[in-house]
Amino acid sequence: MSIIIPNYNGESLLDKNLPSVIEAANTYGNKCEIIVVDDASRDDSVQLISKHTPPVHLVRHDVNRGFAETIHTGVRHAANEVVILLNSDVRPANDFIAPLISLFRSPTTFSVSPLICDPDGTPQTVSWNLGMIRRGTIKFRSWVLEEARDRLEKGQRLKSLFASGGSVALRKNMFLQLGGFLPLYKPFYYEDVDLCTRAWLKGWQTLFEPRSQVTHDHVGTIRLHFDTRRIRMIRLRNRFFYLWLYLSRTGIVSSHIPGIIYRVLLRTLQLDMTYVTALLQALIRLKEVTAFRAEMKSSIGKVKPLEEILAEIAQLTER
């Protein structure tokens, strides 16, 4: 099993969280390697990482390539079939690895999400992603941890639309077959949602394992290098890309487009132009999105629309 940590100017985060990763790897003990891929940091990250080698293996980019390419580099260097992606602001519990790995006994398992908690121990909704389409966009329903644990005790599999790219175990071979993260979503956001959706199209499942736990401090490098408005604009733009790729044509015409019109009018009245800017930025690249949608249909055949994938995931009683 290989742990991959992408890093860009994350010296303080690595100093805080890397010892916990090393301790978790030692606890698991079964030929576990740790790879930190440094994306041309300008701080003293490399020097800090070097203090932990071995057991940490350092891979360096000469120029900054971004999150997706940093992950791709790590996966290519991984010696094992199951890899765990951990952002530098994620601190794992000592015993978090074994529960994740156990779910890969099923050949249809693509990725597994641990229970992701705030520093105060509050579970984050993104741990278990039960999506639904409302007014032409995707929403995720809330859940409680007791519900998940109760379903596990009954022998049920906790299906999830996607696992967050900041803390996920996945199968290397499947990741490479899918081509990894799409460059369409650069510089960040929705690449993990898209990846797992493409896996679902192939019948490869994403699952939630609450017996594995990590703590997310919410102090990643994105917020250090981008202002809040730009971060929100990119997230909204990439959500348009995602919906245009995977919603059924019927859903786009009958629900998504009317939803866009409603939100444009509402945000304009509220003097919030970030939504409109994101829409315009997405429309500029509509031809690119349309081409990829056609490519998927050609390579996969009949592409199951997002609505059907979400309905399948909602069938939580499957064993």
Residues 140-195: tens digit of each pLDDT: 999 999 999 999 999 999 999 999 999 999 999 999 999 999 999 999 899 999 99
Contacts of 83 (CB under 8 A, 6+ apart): 1, 2, 3, 4, 74, 75, 169, 170, 172, 175
Indicate the angle between helix axes 274-284 and 286-300, nearest 10 degrees. Answer: 60
The full length of the chain comes to 319
pLDDT of residue 319: 45
Residue 218 in this model has a pLDDT that exceeds 80 = no
Q: Is the pLDDT of residue 301 over 90?
A: no
pLDDT digits (tens, 9 = 90+) for 252-273: 999 999 999 999 999 999 999 9
pLDDT number for residue 54: 85
149: tokens are 């644990």
pTM above 0.75, yes or no: yes
Residue 65 has pLDDT above 50, yes or no: yes
Would you state the structure tokens that stand for residue 24, as one six-digit string?
Answer: 């978790």
pLDDT category at 317 given cuts 50, 70, 90 is very low
Whole-number pLDDT of residue 217: 87
List C-alpha distances in Å: 94 to 16, 28, 124, 211, 213: 15, 8, 19, 12, 9
Please give the helix or strand (H or E) that residue 313 lies within, else none. Answer: helix 306-314
Question: Using one digit for the tens of pLDDT, what is the confidence trace for 93-124?
Answer: 999 999 999 999 999 999 999 999 999 999 99
CA proximity to 219, closest of 13, 70, 15, 5: 13
